[in-house]
Amino acid sequence: MVGLLPGFTRYRLALLGLLLLLALALLLGAALGAYPIPPAAIPGILLRGEGVEYQVLTALRLPRVLGAALVGGLLALAGAVLQGLFRNPLVDPGLIGVSSGAALGAALFIVLVPGAGPLEVYALPLFAFLGGLLATSLLWRLAQSPLGTQVTILLLSGIALNALVGAGIGLLTFLATEEELRSLTFWTLGGFSALTWRLLLAGLPLSLLALLLLFPLARPLNALALGEREAFHLGVGLEGLKRRAVAGAALGVGVAVALAGGVGFLGLVAPHLFRLLAGPDHRWLLPGSFLLGASLAVLADLLSRTLVAPAELPVGVVTALLGGPFFLYLVLRHKREVYRA
């Protein structure tokens, strides 16, 4: 689609289409499931405010689909910002340790701080955020050199960190009780079944803070695409940009992991799909990635609870099955471009 329409028209049509896609995904997510509800009847049920269908919608479906949209949007937005920051299309919050660090933070809280009671709903996102921030800061320092940030070192360090985090979570699994083990399995495979209004509202302030940190970075990231020296001469504060992007991405991914566990590949796939659909301008790419990531997460959740109903597949399994082949496609495409150069 890129190049067939003038720039602004193409971007505006893409965002409008994604808004409609998200609205359709939310409607289908609220309507379909073990207890199907006709989509056209949903407004009337909500206005009536009583009955079994009303309870299913308000107590189960709506917090689940809205939470899935928030998680998918945060992961995709963080992926788009990190790809722009590192000027590498293969960067994903999972590859550079943000997701695994957040998962380890959440796992440490579950196993080492049992019985947190009412504090759990607030402390769990905080531990996940701190885990993601510490992991990203460590990798960032390892990748620094007199020549700047070495992306290859960053990615290799991320792979090593993911292996270490896997070992850490394995050790915590060995130490966990049966109840804690069920929670850890949820964090490892990902899912939206545990989302409630209380959990969603607890994560909302940190989510809004992540959005406020990440969305204004569109113009600096466009300048950075020209190179660090060019961005500096255009007035971009590089160190401030890097700190804000890393902190915002760690915050957003930390909240996403705290709400839904390990849901992979959305941060990689959604920005790439938007670039193929409309183009690479970050002023449109960031909101477009958020909308597309939100839609994909809601649709992945819908597949996870309808494909093998009445059982339910972990959402992380669905996104990995869809995102893994797409990642291989990106690698092969990058390989062809290298050979052409």
Per-residue pLDDT tens over the stretch 235-279:
888 878 888 888 888 888 888 887 888 787 888 889 988 988 888
Give dist(CA 172, CA 216) in Å, integer.
Answer: 38
Terminal Cα distance for the chain, rounded:
24
**Nearest to 95, CA basis, from 135, 150, 141, 148:** 135
**189 versus 61: which is more confidently predicted?**
61
Q: Is the pLDDT of residue 310 over 60?
A: yes
Residue 186 in contact with residue 312, Cβ under 8 Å?
no
pLDDT computed for residue 81 by the predictor: 93
Q: Return the amino acid letter for 332.
A: L
Give dist(CA 250, CA 225) in Å, integer.
Answer: 21
Q: Across the chain, what does the average pLDDT equal? A: 83
**102 versus 44: which is more confidently predicted?**
44
pLDDT computed for residue 115 by the predictor: 62
Digit-coded pLDDT (tens) for 160-214: 888 888 888 888 888 877 777 777 776 677 788 888 888 888 888 889 999 999 9
pLDDT computed for residue 315 by the predictor: 85
**331 versus 45: which is more confidently predicted?**
45
pLDDT computed for residue 119 by the predictor: 61
pLDDT computed for residue 218 by the predictor: 93
**208 versus 318: which is more confidently predicted?**
208
pLDDT computed for residue 65 by the predictor: 95
Q: % helix / strand / coil in the chain, to the nearest 5?
A: 80, 0, 20
Give dist(CA 109, CA 124) in Å, integer.
Answer: 7
Least confident of 56-60, 117-121, 331-335: 117-121
Confidence of residue 148 (pLDDT cuts 50, 70, 90): low
Rg of the Cα trace of the chain? 20
Q: Return the amino acid letter for 184.
A: L
Greatest Cα pair distance in the chain: 66
Confidence of residue 110 (pLDDT cuts 50, 70, 90): confident
Question: Measured at the alpha carbon of residue 89, what is the angle toward residues 210 and 8, in degrees to the nearest 5?
Answer: 75
**Nearest to 128, CA basis, from 199, 214, 212:** 199
Q: Is the pLDDT of residue 121 over 70?
A: no
Helix (H) or strand (E) holding 144: strand 144-145
Give dist(CA 278, CA 242) in Å, integer.
Answer: 26
